[in-house]
Every structure is written in structure tokens, then in C-alpha cells.
Amino acid sequence: MKKLPPQELKDFLDKKVAQFNQPGFIKNDPVQIPHQFKKKQDIEIAGLFAAVLAWGQRVTIIGKSKELLTRMDNAPHDFMLHHQESDLKRFESFRHRTFNGSDTLYFIEFLSSFYKANDSLESAFIAPCTSAQEPIEQGLIQFNKLFFSLPHSPQRTRKHISTPERKSACKRINMYLRWMVRNDQQGVDFGIWKNISPSVLICPCDLHVERVARKLKMVKRKQMDWLTAIELTQSLRKLDPKDPVKYDFALFGLGIDEGFGY
């Protein structure tokens, strides 16, 4: 496929954003998990778990996320603040892919510690601006360091919270930020975090998004890593500098629902 002229590309992707960025998208996507809640902190916690578990078939991801939150009595923030030691045993048997009981227990330990001292997980992602090419890069690095700052954090759990420092594309955590930050009143993303601009978000890059982006000639870098995610996002900013990650809906929808790029 030849590279489309910029305006033609924008028109094509804008139409696809309008097609997929609407409430009907929710029922088949892991974003449905935080949509089961109204309380800000419940949305944050449920969203984090759904994003971290977003590996494999969507129906399985959704089922496992529901299972995990059921073990928290479907009140995750209250559970983090008030659970007893005896309540933790029910999580030892939880499994999804390589995410196991010990990972779950550390996530609970961190979130319990964090929410007893903070009102919102947003503050964990806000880092002072440095010379980094991307402002959100320092936020992702800071969150990773904070998340694993508790004594005896398991080494095996580190693969579940990615960081640009390890050159990861950080797909799942970028998806989580999209959910929390974007606020376009379309009903899919929540927009409950007000101190991070949608303009600094990085596009979540999974296999479907990558294939579509390559077919549309939006990335040249051969491997999929942090720099490729930046390259794609910079291409998207040329189409909409204020809200580039809205095009995640278009690229993902084209790939998984329409088979574009395959």
C-alpha cells in the first residue's frame, strides 16, 4: 500500500475514530471493567488491573479481570484500605498467563500502601519535566520506580509494569493512561485525571496497531519498542497534536475488527 497524503490519511483515520470511539466499543474491550464502577478510586484500581491483565484474547482478559475484582468483593478501593491479612489467602490461587498469586499480592500491597497516603493514582505518574524527549516518559519511569519501591518487591513481578528504561513500548500502561486521561465525552475513556494532558500520551502499540501503522507507512523502525511507540505517536500528532492517541481506536479497530494490515 502506498503512503497516503496527510489530509487523506487524516480523513480516513478520523472516520474510523468516529466509528469505534463510541459506547458500543466498551462491551468487547477490557475497558468495560473499570466501567462497572462509579467511584474514582475504584475506576483507577479496576482499570489498572484490567490493563495489566490485557494479554491474550479479550474475552479471557475480561473474565479474569472480573474474577479478580470479585475476590475484592467488587469494591477494590475499600478492599485496599480495609482488608485483613486473612482476606489475602483468596488471591494465592489467582492466575492469568504469567500473572500469578504472588504478583497479585504485591499489587495489593502496593495499592494498599499508596491509597492509605494518597487520594488518586494520578499523582504517581506526574514527574518533574526533564530533558526527556517525551514528557510522559518520566512519568512512566517514576511510576515503575514507585511501584517497586516497597521492601522485598518480587523480581518476577517487574515484567508486569513496563518502563521506557527497559526500552519497552509500554503498551498496557499507555492504554491505562488513555483510559484515565482522555476526556472527549464519547463515553469510552474516562477523563478523570486532569493534570496530565492528552497531548503528551503515547499510543498503545500492540500487534494489531503495529501492523496497521506499518501498512499505513506511519512507522519505519523495524522492531517494536519504546522508540517505535514514540515514532508512531509523532505521526499521529501531525494529524491531531492535542489528542493524538484518539487514533488508537482507529488503528486497533482496523486491525482487530476489520483485519486491515493482515
What are the pLDDT digits (tens) for 83-133? 999 999 999 999 999 999 999 999 999 999 999 999 999 999 998 765 556
* pLDDT above 80: residue 81: yes
Alpha carbon distances (Å) from 20 to 178, 184, 206, 249, 253: 15, 13, 17, 6, 6
Quote the domain boundaries for residue 173: 6-159+166-256
CB 218 within 8 A of CB 235: yes
Number of domains within the chain: 1
User: Is residue 219 assigned to a domain?
Assistant: yes
User: Is residue 38 assigned to a domain?
Assistant: yes
Alpha carbon distances (Å) from 189 to 12, 118, 186, 192, 250: 22, 23, 7, 9, 14
Q: What is the mean pLDDT of the chain?
A: 95
CB 10 within 8 A of CB 218: no
Higher pLDDT among residues 59 and 257, named by residue: 59
User: Is residue 262 assigned to a domain?
Assistant: no
User: Is residue 1 assigned to a domain?
Assistant: no
User: Is residue 171 assigned to a domain?
Assistant: yes
Distance CA 83, CA 94 (A): 17
Give tens-digit pLDDT for 34-49. 999 999 999 999 999 9
Cβ contacts of residue 52 below 8 Å, gap of 6+? 99, 107, 160, 161, 172, 176
CB 57 within 8 A of CB 74: no
If you write DSSP's letter for every residue of 12-62 in order, what string do you get?
HHHHHHHHHSSGGGGGGSGGGTGGG--SHHHHHHHHHHHHHT--S-HHHHH
